[in-house]
């Protein structure tokens, strides 16, 4: 009986192998994103074609290896490109109080941006913090090499 479904099981196993997604916070909302995916988010600052990166990555999954941040994963970022700025569908707000003759009808169109996810991965580590750490070590070593002052030299001076 299993031989009958053998093709299905091998196909399903191949489909899962190179799967990576991340849950990222963009403009106060959380989105599950994959590479080359296009999503609508609240209006972002920047022009069409600009590249943006989001560093509030809450969770990543690469072929079953899940990494959860507390609250965010340090060193991970999601890169995206702004495709276009547009307005969402109109939302009608209708207020009425019965038997009073009170009716108010308003409409609202939310400003949104369409972005395309270009990459999910680790951020490039900056060399500046390492240089500062090396300078701090050098400063710590310098006083240790200097001869300690004795009481005789203190009283003479």
The one-digit pLDDT tens for each residue of the chain (157 residues) are 445 444 444 444 444 445 799 999 999 999 999 999 999 999 999 999 999 999 999 999 988 899 999 999 999 999 999 999 999 999 999 999 999 999 999 999 999 999 999 999 875 455 445 555 555 555 555 555 566 666 665 565 5
**pLDDT score at 103:** 97
Question: Quick one: which H or E segment has residue 57?
Answer: strand 57-62
In a domain, 55, yes or no: yes
Is residue 9 included in any domain, yes or no?
no
Domain with 133, as residue range(s), is: 17-145
Q: Is residue 8 part of a domain?
A: no
Q: What total of structural domains would you count in the chain?
A: 1
pLDDT score of 134:
57
Beta-carbon contacts of 114 under 8 Å, excluding residues fewer than 6 positions away, are 38, 39, 40, 82, 83, 84, 85, 86
- The answer to whether residue 6 sits within a structural domain is no
In a domain, 137, yes or no: yes
Question: Is residue 99 situated within a structural domain?
Answer: yes
Look at residue 153 and tell me if it is in a domain.
no
Q: Is residue 4 part of a domain?
A: no
């Amino acid at each position: 009986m299993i031989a009958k479904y053998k093709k299905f099981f091998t196909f399903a196993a191949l489909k899962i192998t190179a799967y990576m997604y991340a849950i990222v916070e963009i403009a106060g909302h959380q989105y599950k994103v994959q590479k080359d995916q296009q999503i609508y988010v609240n209006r972002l600052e920047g022009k069409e074609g600009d590249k943006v990166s989001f560093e509030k990555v809450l969770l990543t999954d690469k072929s079953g290896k899940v990494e959860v941040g507390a609250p965010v994963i340090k060193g991970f970022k999601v890169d995206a490109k702004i495709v276009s700025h547009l307005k969402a569908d109109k939302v009608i707000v209708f207020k009425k109080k019965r038997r009073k003759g009170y009716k108010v009808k308003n409409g609202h169109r939310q400003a949104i941006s369409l972005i395309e996810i270009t990459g999910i991965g680790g951020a490039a580590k900056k060399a500046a913090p390492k240089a500062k750490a090396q300078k701090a070590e050098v400063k710590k070593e310098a006083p240790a090499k200097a001869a300690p002052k004795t009481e005789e030299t203190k009283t003479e001076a």
